[in-house]
Structure 1
Amino acid sequence: MKRPIRTGFTLVELLVVIAIIGVLVGLLLPAVQAAREAARRMSCSNNFKQIGLAIHNYHSAYNQLPRHGSGTDDHAAYGTGGDWWSQSQDATMGKLSAMGGLLPFIEQQAIWEQLANPSIQNADGTTRPTTDPWPAMGPSPNYWVNAGGYVPWVTEIPGFRCPSDPGKGLPAAGRTNYAVCFGDSGNYMYRGYRPLPNGRHLDKMDNTEADQIRGSARGVFINFHTTRFRDILDGLSNTIAMGEIATDLGDKDKRTISQTSSKFWGGQNIGNPSICTDTAGLIDSERPQFWASGTTVSTSTNGRGYRWFDQLTPYTVMNTILPPNRELCGFSHDFWLTVAPPSSRHQGGVHVLMSDGAVKFITDSIEAGDSRSRAPDSNYRPGDKSSYGLWGALGSRAAKETIDQEF
């Protein structure tokens, strides 16, 4: 009698095959994830290159860089005091970021047309009364949620987003992962003494204050002021025009939301850029990338990168004081944030856009001098060397600093 021929696998053989497959998947999965992140990082770099080309095309067209802090004004909204925080549904109040001017140059002509012309359309599909349309150039940025939402303000622009950043949805409007560089000073980060249309100023400025602004406004972009490539005396290839920022996810990441400690409120100077690191209890000792659970952070709408159209510091501004991926630190209010380093979801560093259009990856360990050597909101004299090493020198446009090392 013949023995039957066995046609299946034994349990042991099956378990061995499953174990081998599991080992192979475990070995290959990190490589697959690394390949995906490499692709996302390359896509992010390409987005930044397109923004760089847009800046150069804008400069060719208008002989200046897009102004950070531009748009229309509503005289009545200022009242008698001329408050610089005045808001209006009928004008941008000069608070439009430089990103708005770049829209036609990054193939976003449709959004630009909506922005540049009066509109009755709301983001929720409703319409505003025809007697009261949204104005050309839009309302001031904080009105994006009113009456169904102004369409351009709640539109996500793909060219302004890094694929590695998962942030989306409320409480943000249209997010951005790219911010203009204000250089290596935290002084006059917001105001810059913008003149009003009727000749008054938001603040009374004398010659001493004018000198302070000349010394403190050290970056390629300056709030409410026009800059040109000819102003970048240190060389376009040696000066950062923009940097990457990670958007806030609501998880108290110290890179994407600022503290509201009493130390940073009420007009006090920030004597030490690393004060948030040096102050016990602010940063979670077990998770050093996050603020401690018992601390209070800024309001949820002040998250990093939450509004591509808004010129306030958390949304579209970075500086070269603390090195990349350090904490947001300074005054708690969104417009007076003093220390605003770039950040990203990439491992080990961030992309920066040089003024010549080149995109470089800057590591977190870039030489940044002694962060405790100078108060970030103290005044430089025009032409002073940066206090923050190579990193600070890359952010200043006209300090005659020689870049003699790789970065």
Structure 2
Amino acid sequence: MKSNQTRQGFTLVELLVVIAIIGVLVGLLLPAVQAAREAARRMSCSNNFKQMGLGLHNYHSAYNKLPKHKGGTHIDGGNNYTHNRGYLSFLVGILPFVEQQGMWETISNPFNFDRNGNALTPPNTYAAMGGTPWNEDYQPWLTQVPMYRCPSDPVIPAGTQVAFSNYAACTGDAFFEQHHNGIQDGNGQPSGDGTWGATAGNRWARGAFHGRNFTGFRDILDGLSNTILCGEIVVGNGNREIFSSIHRDGNVANQPPSYWATSGVIDPARPQFWSDSANWDGNANHQRGRRWADGRPTYTSFMTIGPPNSYNVCRGEGNFGIYSAASRHQGGVHILMGDGAVRFVTSSIDAGNQDHVAYGRDNGDGRGANGGAGRESPYGLWGALGTKGMKEVIDSEF
């Protein structure tokens, strides 16, 4: 006798076919989902720059100048509480113009509490404008300003570390004297007119920002739309990446940018990483972007010497050197132009003659104390965008 019951469910073969189809669809859609997420992060990063540009323009409207990069207070014999040694970055100065008025009020007034809220007693109480930007007991330096972080960069500070920044000032295409710029650390007085002095430092002031000196839109003779104000950097995470960690070499002043790609300090098997022979600093506090309030070039500056996402080489801690723009976005970096426009520049932008030793200390070869004055950038379109008054003609898209 035949059964009239209808079979229910799937056979094992049919179930496996359905699972296989779902797996294929997920495999096809996952890259698209990841790409959509990165596109959203990139858009958020661009919006951060737009807000920063608006803040810089409002600051300039209020004071007829850009905020000083490496400004602040100087006290002879002071400690890490009583002054900041004139190291504060421009990111501190624009706080009230980027909707961070509360933090600005805290910084610009005396503050008598440590990071845990415990009352402090003299002489270890914070004067107006805070202590040194590496002071991990000063609450404002530990406070992360969301707008100063790129959402594509995953590195986050530990609870006792100062907060980070992915956005940096463009100081042009010369590297020497980016640390002091002719101003003494201890008392804020000019260093004289020698090799390390103020006059020599001014000759290397080729970018929109010049450490420990005010600049304004009037100084940007190449035009606001042709000059970079700020760009992205990647926060160092201690994993030897050439664009986020730093190789230290006391001879950096005498080597062309191309030297670092051929000297053996970059791993040939993994060209985005330093080799074992590199003198890279694994100290987390000495990595790119690790102190948002510190105006020294390691932390919040870059030069248009090496192309985006290339190497960082310096002498000493946070001292002069070659510091590159970099990002976690695919293929390039965001830059903020003087007119407030945000552009995305690819890592393959024309960077000119990488065999040309950067303008810097005078070694008798004409590229030092007077060498950079009035000369066009040797670093192609990228270098020209970083200079503010060398009269280069920007006649190509980037």
Q: TM-score range by the shorter chain?
A: over 0.9
Describe the shift of the 1:208–1:248 C-alpha distance in structure 2 as closer, same or farther (beyond 3 A): closer
Between 382-391 and 51-60, the greater mean CA deviation after superposition: 382-391
Separation in structure 2 between the aligned mates of residue 76 and residue 312 of structure 1, nearest angstrom: 21
2:393 maps to 1:390:
no
CA change 1:25–1:323 in 2 (3 A) is same
Cα offsets for 1:270-308 (capped at 9, x unmatched): 32112221112x222222111124544113211110111
Query: RMSD of the TM alignment (CA)?
Result: 2.0
Structure 1 distance, partners of 2:384, 2:199, is: 20
- Mapped pair 1:311 → 2:295: yes
Alignment of 1:6-405 (within 5 A): 6-77=7-78, 88-129=80-121, 132-142=124-134, 144-145=135-136, 149-170=137-158, 172-194=161-183, 200-201=189-190, 203-206=191-194, 210-260=198-248, 264-265=249-250, 269-280=253-264, 282-293=265-276, 295-298=278-281, 299-331=283-315, 333-377=316-360, 378-379=367-368, 380-405=371-396
State the Cα distance separating 1:210 from its structure 2 match: 4.9
Describe the superposition over 1:77-132 as per-residue Cα deviations: whole angstroms up to 9, x where unpaired. 4xxxxxxxxx6320111111111011101111111111011112222333323774
Residue 40 and residue 233 in structure 1: after superposition, are their counterparts in 2 closer, same or farther (change >3 A)?
A: same
How far residue 186 of structure 1 moved from its aligned partner, in angstroms, is: 0.9
Q: Could you tell me how far apart the structure 1 residues matched to 2:196 and 2:261 are?
A: 33
Give TM-score scaled by structure 1 length: 0.90
> Displacement of 1:197 after TM fit?
9.1
Q: Is the alpha carbon distance of 1:10 and 1:198 closer, same or farther for their aligned partners in structure 2, counting shifts above 3 Å? A: closer
Sort the Cα spacing of 1:209 and 1:198 in 2 relative to 1 into closer, same or farther, 3 A.
closer
Q: Percent same amino acid among aligned pairs?
A: 46
Query: Could you tell me which residue of structure 2 aligns to residue 80 of structure 1?
Result: none
1:218 offset after TM fit, Å? 0.1
The one-letter code of the counterpart of 1:193 is G
Q: What is the SS of the residue equivalent to 2:60? A: helix
Residue 189 of structure 1, CA deviation: 1.2
Q: Structure 1, unaligned stretches of length 5 or more?
A: 78-86
Matched residue SS, 1:113: helix
> What CA distance in whole angstroms lies between the structure 1 residues aligned with 2:311 and 2:13?
54
Equivalent position SS for 1:393: helix
Tell me the TM-score normalised to structure 2 length: 0.92
- Which whole-Å CA distance do the structure 1 matches of 2:321 and 2:54 have between them? 29
- Once the two structures are TM-superposed, the CA of residue 338 in structure 1 deviates from its matched residue by 1.1
Shift of 1:140: 1.3
Measure the CA separation in 1 of the matches of 2:187 and 2:113. Answer: 31
User: 3-state DSSP class of the match of 1:141?
Assistant: coil
Q: Which secondary structure does the structure 2 equivalent of 1:335 belong to? A: coil
Q: How far off its partner does 1:205 sit?
A: 2.1
Q: Which amino acid aligns with 2:351?
A: A
Q: 2:202 and 2:117 mapped to 1: Cα distance?
A: 46
Higher helix share: 1
- Which amino acid is 1:65 matched to? L
Opposite residue 49 of structure 1, the aligned amino acid is: K
8 Å contact from structure 1 (residues 325, 349) kept in 2: yes
* Stretch moving more, 130-139 or 107-116: 130-139
- Residue 315 of structure 1 deviates from its aligned partner by 0.6
Shift of 1:178: 0.3
Give the C-alpha shift of residue 136 in structure 1.
1.0
Q: Which moved more, 1:204-213 or 1:53-62?
A: 204-213
Aligned in 2, Cα 1:44/1:14: closer, same or farther, shift over 3 Å?
A: same
Distance 2:58 2:252 in 1: 41
Q: Match of 2:322, SS?
A: coil
For 1:194 and 1:390, the matched residues in 2 are separated by: 31
Q: Is the 1:328–1:337 Cα contact (8 Å) retained in structure 2?
A: no
Task: Note the C-alpha offset of 1:252.
Answer: 1.1
Mapped to 1, the partners of 2:196 and 2:71 lie a distance apart of 25
SS in 1 for 2:314: coil
Task: Quote the Cα distance in structure 2 between the aligned partners of 1:207 and 1:15.
Answer: 76
Q: 1:120 to 1:388 in 2, by over 3 A?
A: same
| The 10-residue stretch of structure 1 (382-391 or 48-57) with the greater mean CA deviation from structure 2 | 382-391
| 1:189–1:335 CA contact under 8 A, matched in 2 | no
* 8 Å contact kept, 1:273–1:376: no
Letter in 1 for 2:13: V
Letter in 2 for 1:173: V
Do 1:88 and 1:140's aligned partners in 2 also have CA atoms closer than 8 Å? yes
Paired positions, count: 387
Structure 2 residue runs without a partner (length 5+):
361-366
Cα pair 1:270 1:330 within 8 Å, conserved: no
Closer, same or farther: CA 295–213 of 1 in aligned 2, 3 Å = closer
